Structure 1
Amino acid sequence: MVPGRFDSQALWSLQLICLLALLVAAKMAFAEETQVNLGPPMQFGIVRSDAPGCEPICPEWISAEGSIETETPALFKRFLKKLGGRKLPIIVNSPGGSVDAALQLGRMIRKNKFDIAVGTTKFTGCPPGMDFCQPGEGATYFGVASDSGAICNSACPLMFAGGVRRLAGGQAYVGVHQITTTYFPTRRQYRTTYQTVRGRKYQVTTEYIIQGDSYKVYKMSKSLERRLAAYFSEMGVEKGVLLTMKNTPASAIHQLELHNMLQMKLVTSGDYSGLLTLAGICRANPAPENCRETTSPTDKAKQLANVAQTKASSSGSEPSSGSPGTRLVFCSDTNGPGIGEVCGNPGEAGAWSAWHGDVVGRPYTQMKP
Structure 2
Amino acid sequence: MEFVLVRGDMAWCRNDDRCPEWISAEGKIENDTPAKLRKFLGPLGDASLPVVVNSPGGNIRAALEMAWIMRKHKLSIGVGQTRWRTCPVANPTCAVYTPDGARKGEVYTGGAFCSSACTLFFAGGINRVCGQWAWLGVHQARSFDMSAHVEKVGLPADLRKMVIQTIGEMGVDKSLFDISLEAKPNQLRNVSQTEARSLNLTTELATVEDLVAARNCRDNEALATCATRARIPPRK
Q: How many residues align?
A: 214
Pairwise CA distance, 1:48: 1.3
What residue is the counterpart of 2:144 in the other structure? 182
RMSD: 2.3
The 3 A distance-change label for structure 1 pair 53 and 222 is closer
Whether 1:233 aligns to 2:168 is yes
- Correspondent of 2:97 among 106, 114, 130: 130
What residue is the counterpart of 1:163 in the other structure? 125
- Equivalent residues of 1:157, 1:174 under 8 A apart: yes
Whether 1:110 aligns to 2:110 is no
- List per-residue Cα deviations over 1:218-264 (Å, max 9, x = no partner): 13333222111110111011112111112321111000011111111
Residue aligned with 2:97, SS: coil
What residue is the counterpart of 1:43 in the other structure? 2
The 3 A distance-change label for structure 1 pair 283 and 252 is same
Pairwise CA distance, 1:125: 3.0
Whether 1:268 aligns to 2:203 is yes
- Equivalent residues of 2:129, 2:211 under 8 A apart: no
- List per-residue Cα deviations over 1:302-359 (Å, max 9, x = no partner): xxxxxxxxxxxxxxxxxxxxxxxxxxxxxxxxxxxxxxxxxxxxxxxxxxxxxxxxxx
Give matches, 1:1-369, under 5 Å: 42-54=1-13, 55-125=16-86, 127=93, 129-133=96-100, 141-185=103-147, 214-278=149-213, 281=214
What residue is the counterpart of 2:222 in the other structure? none
Partner Cα separation in structure 2 for residue 283 and residue 262 of structure 1: 24
Residue aligned with 1:81, SS: helix
TM value normalised by structure 1: 0.54
Partner Cα separation in structure 1 for residue 29 and residue 177 of structure 2: 19
What residue is the counterpart of 1:352 in the other structure? none
What residue is the counterpart of 2:221 in the other structure? none
One-letter amino acid matched to 1:64 = A
Pairwise CA distance, 1:66: 0.8
The 3 A distance-change label for structure 1 pair 259 and 284 is closer
Residue aligned with 1:152, SS: strand
The 3 A distance-change label for structure 1 pair 235 and 282 is closer
Instruction: Give the gaps of 5 or more residues in structure 1.
Output: 1-41, 136-140, 186-212, 292-369
Residue aligned with 1:145, SS: strand
Q: Which has the larger radius of gyration?
A: 1
One-letter amino acid matched to 2:180 = M
Pairwise CA distance, 1:283: 9.6
Q: Would you tell me which structure has more helix in proportion to its own residues?
A: 2
Partner Cα separation in structure 2 for residue 177 and residue 236 of structure 1: 20
Q: Which moved more, 1:260-269 or 1:51-60?
A: 51-60
Partner Cα separation in structure 2 for residue 73 and residue 158 of structure 1: 13
Residue aligned with 1:109, SS: helix
Partner Cα separation in structure 2 for residue 91 and residue 226 of structure 1: 28
- Equivalent residues of 2:182, 2:189 under 8 A apart: no
- List per-residue Cα deviations over 1:143-188 (Å, max 9, x = no partner): 1111101000010000000000000122110100011112233xxx
TM value normalised by structure 2: 0.83
Partner Cα separation in structure 2 for residue 282 and residue 167 of structure 1: 15
Partner Cα separation in structure 2 for residue 160 and residue 223 of structure 1: 21
Partner Cα separation in structure 2 for residue 221 and residue 84 of structure 1: 37
Q: Which moved more, 1:118-127 or 1:264-273?
A: 118-127
The 3 A distance-change label for structure 1 pair 233 and 53 is closer
Residue aligned with 2:144, SS: strand
What residue is the counterpart of 2:234 in the other structure? none
